[in-house]
A and B are shown apart, each in its own frame.
Chain A
Amino acid sequence: MIKMGSFRSYVGLEEYEMKIPRPVNSAFLQPKFIKGELVIAEAENVLKFTSMSKKKGLSGSLFVTNARLVFVSSDRVCSEDSIPLLSINTLCYYEESKGSGGKKTKRKVKLGPHAIDSSAAMSSTFCSASTRIHELLVICSNFRCLRFSFKFSLVDHGQKICNALIHWSFPKQPEKLFYLDYCRALDVYNYGNPLPLYEIPGDWLREIKISRTIGYRITMANMEFKVCESLPETIVVPANLSDVRLTSLSGKLKGSRPPFWVWGDFNGSAILRMGKLHNESDSGAENQFFETLRKAHPQKRKPHIYDLDSTFSIKEIRQSMTRLFELCCSESLSNLEDMDSKFLSQLEITKWLSWVSKVLQVSQEIAESIVNLNDIIILQENESRDISCLIGSVVQVILEARFRSITGFFSLIQKDWISTGHAFHSNYMHTSPVFLLFLDSVYQLCYQNAFEFEFNEQLLSDIWDSCFDPTAGTFLFDTPTQRKHLDLRKDLNVWHRILSKEGSSAENENGPVGYRRQFPQVHTIPKCLVNPFYKLRPILCPPHSKSFRNNHPPLLCCSHSVADIQLWNALYLDRTTEPIDLNGGGTKLTLSSPTPHTKNMHNLSPRTPSPGGSYVGSTSSSPSPIRGSVFLFSKNNQTSDPESDSETIVCGGRNFVNEQKLVDLLLVASSTSVKHHNSTSSITTSSRRGDLTGLSHPFPVVPPRFSKTGSSNTRINPFLDLG
């Protein structure tokens, strides 16, 4: 059952011979185009490697369109692999100049976020006619890597593809985004939108009502974006702050971003975000505003101001992400092997995990002061469009169970990132390190709180993928002004795409989410995004009941301790190498979960066809674990109370230390009390290495990364000549 292939992690990978592609009538090799898509360049007889060793792959044609890079395989029927142009991060290519006598030189072009201000570099990498491009490595911002070889295609094909990629990847003006072409080409029918987008007063009003906030009002001062272009037309401000004062205050702040409310509760605590003063010495108006807030607070507490610029540096976070990319997306097999021996220290050097830890630390501090002191928190930052989005939203996830449901989480992103003007396009070219940091922080919270989130890490990585989706408008623009002026289709947003995606994530890896089918109006949440451990307790027990408080500490567990932060393997590492197919084996199983335990749940027995197939749902023979029967049962489980059950087991675990003939009973009593004290501790399970990369019983899968240290390799190789 297990093929030799699964053992390739220890032995050489060099055994497969690449076959020379047979010429195929190119008419058959056409991708399925999206509406409004145009082909810009194409290359025939291209090899796409599916392994790092470049020994295995598919042959076919490569297309660059105005939206995607598409590879159509001639070996497998209807096998298409595409990536949105927006997601391309780096191109590496090997070129051979005519004069150089066959010598190959390697060149690297960084697109995307790194190349914003280097238009000069762009022109210098313009491939001259005398060179031929042999190989191309495309590294994407969603941690995928694609390798192509133009060895068998016509001389100038590789060059054409590269040129097209370099020129078309990132349109400077948002007006040139493919999305607009797509909208025009689509039929007029509008599907409507059930999720709040926080562009109209109603959505904000609802927010105030749900949170039962007092002392804040909706203002129309920003109608026609008169006050601030990067904020929605309706914003929420303190009730005793008049529109006139708001306007004059905003004039003194950077980006003319007035203070605005994002979250509050009935005790008077609230989270506000505002920009910094242009001129620090002219702080009169600002102080006046703080005084207004103090007066409005039920206990007349002074607002607590967090200067985020002093704690976080966007520049350093950006560098950190770049290093993370370099670590996770290796350019070659040898790089990967070199890195393997010092993976942890390399990871440490990226500092990514320190940033995650810091975000959690600051957020927890704020959340605690809100719960314990009913503070008003002001997140102040340069233009309050980056770190304040991040901290504000993480705090809300920690505070409110509402934002831990799938739709709640969507609305949180919409409220705190999209509508309040995080500049996805112009500042970050769609690869926002701050947003990735947000997703990673939520991932940590998911991991530390297995029972509290409705979604799993798959949803988080889907959201990251969606940042590059050229057919959904959510993450493509900078400000509400842009969105309004370009007159977007409200229904073509990312949230529909994520919810309407069809079960298997493998399908989605092959293309921007959901081209296949328009979403139905009523969404059922795909099972692969649901955390099987999630309990519906918050809805079942009212917040004031005793059982609610027992089961729900006022705050989410949130540990920023080094031992609890871990690498998000499923996003950062598992995708960098293509799933290495077994010869004749199945495709890679993509499992994902907030905890490795969910993975175990996923593994629960889809192998044996269920006898109760009719109500278990799909009994498809697909190896996809997400169709397992587990999920149907998961929500019926609310009645069980893990607290009471866990005690016996914990005791059983602890008392083996002193397994005494006489004191067994005593110990049960003592460790019960011990445990009681423990439950307040916020430290949670930890394993900083992250979970396994892709191996899982019962489906044999080659680990996506392999350790092949030089020494072991030379020692094992003798097998090969043994015969």
Chain B
Amino acid sequence: MEFIELIKAPKVDNVILRRPLFPRIEGTLCVTGHHLILSSRKEDAQEFWLLHRNVDVIERRPSQSQFTGGSIVVKCKDFSVLTLDIGATEDFINIGDSIEALANLDVPGLLYPFFYRSLQPIVEDGWFAFTPESEFSKLVLKTDDWKISYVNKDFKVCDSYPEAVVIPKSIPDEIIVAAAGFRQGGRFPVLSYRHENGSVLLRSGQPLVGPSGKRCKEDEKLINAVLGPGKRGYIIDTRTQTLAQAAKSRGGGVEPETSYPQWRRVHKPIDRHHNLLDSLAKLIEGCNDTASTMDKWLSRIESSNWLTNVRDTLNCACLVAQCLDQDNLSVLAHGSDGTDTTLAVTSLSQVILNPDCRTIRGFEALIEREWIQGGYPFGSRHFHSVYALSASTLKNPKRKYAPTFVLFLDCVWQLFSQFPCSFEFKEQFLLTIFQHSYASQYGTFLGDTVCEREALCLTEKTVSLWSYINRPDIIHTFINPLYEPNPVVIWPSVAPPTIMLWSGLFLRWVVDQTPNEKVWIEMGEMREKETELRRKAVKLRKELLELEKGAKAQQNATPRT
């Protein structure tokens, strides 16, 4: 397939782009294979670029007054909404068709990352910065109980896991293979994080207990190996008890207590898939309507339940963290597939527990480890976002769109806003990751599983987002001026008044964020000034000492008269 078939009108003149907070742009609209480009073609060269991939849904509004042309409302996955006014009816239809076709293009090989080449030389290739081997080698060297296993070579055991996984040393591969058969999607329990006190966090898919109550000795053996004799652990299920029980009829279920006597099961429900998307859609709808009066707005935000979801997720992650840190107990976390809320919980508890995850590189490693290698299907989940939900024409039953990753980023932002000095990165970093996870010129968030990514040869054909972010001149812009390494566990507050709406993300396109940014810049300047003055003080003090020494020496040298 060629792009030319999809692009029905490559160039249209006299198009007006309107969006809140920005001045309107009038000029020529070009539709390329990957971008929508609007250029004013004037001295001041106002240009606007939009990736087709970023388009969530479009709405066509034929002009009421002039009978020709109309407006195309482009609703993007980053929540922005823009309006294109097109004069001629033919152009109006063609542009609409082209955008719609290109935005829904489902051929991975045609996506922009495969065409994009970095202009800057790549200093450090992000594709190889965070391999499982390098991430876990320290852990494996430090302890005797864990090993990096290649049981999943060629993705034979589980297609959503990477080839290298960390499992208990004492467990032979056959047991793993057997245990994988007992878990949803073959996602057998693997190590996600080992806390400094030795307690570990595992994640997996749900056990395939089924209506008949099957059990699997190998699976029991595998997870009991983690605990050691006489110790107990926790299984944290991210579904409600009823949902988990109901899953039995479809072959899933929960670990029965009789077969797992060393484990105690706790349910900490977090909304999933369409519920979550629904909630986010309501939130965005409320946020975009800032004109509404005070008496409706707050309850509208509240009734979207998004903040409750954030709180639930934080709550669950805190529980995991509490088990690991306070009670010194190991935890196995899973939901049903083990690819969504499970990952949000395991990664969030690492942010709470592990100071490394609060640095820029550490956070990148976390996302790579838990989300990308962990098998979060970015390709499917981020294929559409909130606006597509309301446009029923685009409902695609094959794919499950869900903003679980956005939920995770929001939780991290809550932590960040409660502990602004403990994170090396600032809000902009999270926003950048959010943006690229939906539409990007980088290949990092393409595909659903590691297996799929290998098949697409992403490492050769595309550039990694981390290669870009980790460039010294770019990473510099993400550094939080207030950062001071904080080695302790950060326990957040989950009281409702402390869970805030992330205005930098949800209100970015409707409320001007510059004052906030200015304050951050000011803080950076103050911080710099402070360091500079401190340095100066140290220097002066040294000078003083030397002068004193010199004076003394002189005193001693000159004999008293």
Binding site for B on A (CB under 8 A): 1-2, 4, 6-7, 9-11, 340-345, 347-348, 351, 353-354, 357, 448-451, 532-533, 557, 561-565, 567, 569, 573, 595-597, 599-601, 603-605, 607, 610-612, 615, 629-630, 633-634, 636-637, 640, 642, 645-646, 649-650, 652-653, 656-661, 663, 666-667, 669-670, 673-675, 677-679, 681, 683-698, 700, 703-707, 712, 715-716, 718-719, 722
Contacts and interface: CB of A to CB of B under 8 A. Distances in A.
A634 B435 CA distance: 35
Given A10-B494, A600-B421, A687 B501 contact: yes
Contacts of A597: 516, 519-520, 523
Interface stretch (B90-98, B178-186, B272-280, B297-305): B297-305
Nearest to A328: B497
Contact of A691 (B417, B527, B530): B417
A563 B503 contact: yes
B335 to A, nearest CB: 16
B44 interface: yes
Interface in B267-304: 267-268, 287, 290-299, 301-303
Nearest to B516: A685
A344 B299 contact: yes
State which size class the interface on B falls in.
Answer: 35 or more
A718 B268 CA distance: 13
A601 B523 contact: yes
The 6 closest A-B pairs by CB, nearest first: A703-B493, A612-B537, A658-B49, A685-B516, A344-B302, A689-B500
B327 to A, nearest CB: 6
B298 A695 contact: no
Contact of B45 (A660, A666, A686): A666
Given A9-B495, A716-B319, A601 B526 contact: yes
B47 A667 contact: yes
13 contacts: A1-B488, A9-B493, A348-B298, A354-B293, A354-B295, A532-B526, A562-B293, A569-B497, A595-B519, A597-B516, A653-B428, A697-B420, A715-B268
A93 B500 CA distance: 35
Given A348-B294, A354-B294, A649-B521, 14 more contacts: A4-B326, A448-B515, A563-B290, A569-B497, A596-B417, A596-B420, A637-B526, A656-B435, A656-B436, A658-B49, A687-B500, A693-B498, A707-B311, A722-B232
A661 B112 CA distance: 12
A695 B492 contact: yes
Contact of B435 (A605, A633, A657, A705): A657
Contacts of B513: 685
Contacts of A561: 290-291, 511
A690 B512 contact: no
Nearest to A607: B484
Given A348-B299, A353-B298, A564-B511, A718 B264 contact: yes
A633 B500 contact: no
B538 interface: yes
A573 B441 CA distance: 45
Nearest to B427: A653
Nearest to A676: B23
A351 B295 contact: yes
Interface stretch (B115-123, B255-263, B379-387, B450-458): B115-123
Given A642-B522, A712-B268, A681 B116 contact: no
Contact of B526 (A634, A656, A658): A634
A705 B327 contact: no
Given A563-B297, A596-B417, A675-B514, A661 B497 contact: no
Contacts of B422: 697-698
B486 to A, nearest CB: 5
B499 interface: yes
A344 B496 contact: yes
Given A663-B49, A678-B512, A686-B507, A9 B521 contact: no
Contacts of B530: 604, 629-630, 633
A678 B508 CA distance: 13
A635 to B, nearest CB: 11
B21 A678 contact: yes
Nearest to A652: B477
Nearest to A595: B519
B529 interface: yes
Contacts of A6: 491
Interface string B19-52: 0011100000000000100000000111111110
B488 A2 contact: yes
Contacts of A691: 417, 500
Contact of B517 (A615, A646, A696, A697): A646
B534 A562 contact: no
A610 B530 CA distance: 11
A573 B287 CA distance: 25
Contacts of B391: none
B533 interface: yes
A634 B48 CA distance: 39
B133 interface: no
B421 A698 contact: yes
B488 A344 contact: no
B370 interface: no
B139 interface: no
A688 B496 CA distance: 12
Nearest to A662: B119
B14 interface: no
A684 B47 contact: no
Interface centre among A557, A663, A686, A719 (most CB of B within 10 A): A686
B490 interface: yes
A7 B501 contact: no
Given A7-B491, A565-B294, A637-B526, A604 B534 contact: no
Interface in B101-120: 116-119
B526 A693 contact: no
B526 A633 contact: yes
Given A637-B529, A652-B477, A653-B428, A692 B498 contact: yes
Interface in B474-488: 477, 482, 484, 486, 488
Given A357-B294, A661-B117, A685-B503, A697 B534 contact: no
Interface in B292-338: 292-299, 301-303, 307-308, 311, 315, 318-319, 322, 326-327
Interface string B61-78: 000000000000000001
B138 interface: no
Nearest to A657: B435
A58 to B, nearest CB: 24
Nearest to B442: A659
B441 A678 contact: no
A693 B493 contact: yes
A674 B534 contact: no
B118 A661 contact: yes
Contact of A658 (B50, B303, B418, B498): B50
Contacts of A692: 417-418, 493, 498
Nearest to A344: B302
B271 to A, nearest CB: 14
A66 B16 CA distance: 72
Nearest to B292: A562
Given A7-B326, A630-B530, A605 B493 contact: no
Central interface residue in B268, B441, B494, B537, by most chain A CB within 10 Å: B494
A416 B484 CA distance: 45
B266 interface: yes
